[in-house]
Amino acid sequence: MATEEELTELVLIQGEKWPLVLWEEDEAGTLRDLTGCTVRCQIRPSAGSSTIIAAFACALAADPDTGDPNRFVNATLTATETAALSPGKYWIECEIVPGGVEANAEKLLPPTRLEIKPEVIR
């Protein structure tokens, strides 16, 4: 289990499009080639829960600096999807599944809390 210092907390406002850009580097700082991998990012009510509150649309993307393909993950929730989420505290889980083999699934993010705040009337 992660310590309090290792946890990341993100904030989402209902009704706003919410993109996440993720990547993985080796010890030398080289971006991992994610070719053939499936990525999933989900919002859950608690760490380790099997209940999915929302799922991000995930797509692999090229490194904008080098053009190398499949180095980044664009994970997005639309404004409509975030408007449907209830305010509160949740967890985000993102995994890489190399070659589509579930048994090889790896965590892409450290334990990540998510606070959803109510939409602000403008």
Domains of the chain: total: 1
How far apart (Å, rounded) are the C-alpha atoms in residues 58 and 41? 7
pLDDT for 46-81, tens place per residue? Answer: 988 999 999 999 999 999 999 999 999 999 999 999
Domain containing 109: what range?
Answer: 19-117
Q: Is 85 among the domain residues? A: yes
pLDDT for 91-122, tens place per residue? Answer: 999 999 998 888 888 998 887 999 999 987 75
Q: Is 32 among the domain residues? A: yes
Q: Is 98 among the domain residues? A: yes
100-114 per-residue burial string, b: 16 or more CB within 10 A, e: under 16: eeeeeeeebbebbeb
Q: Is 67 among the domain residues? A: yes
Q: Is 59 among the domain residues? A: yes
Residue 119's CB is within 10 A of a number of other CB atoms, namely 15
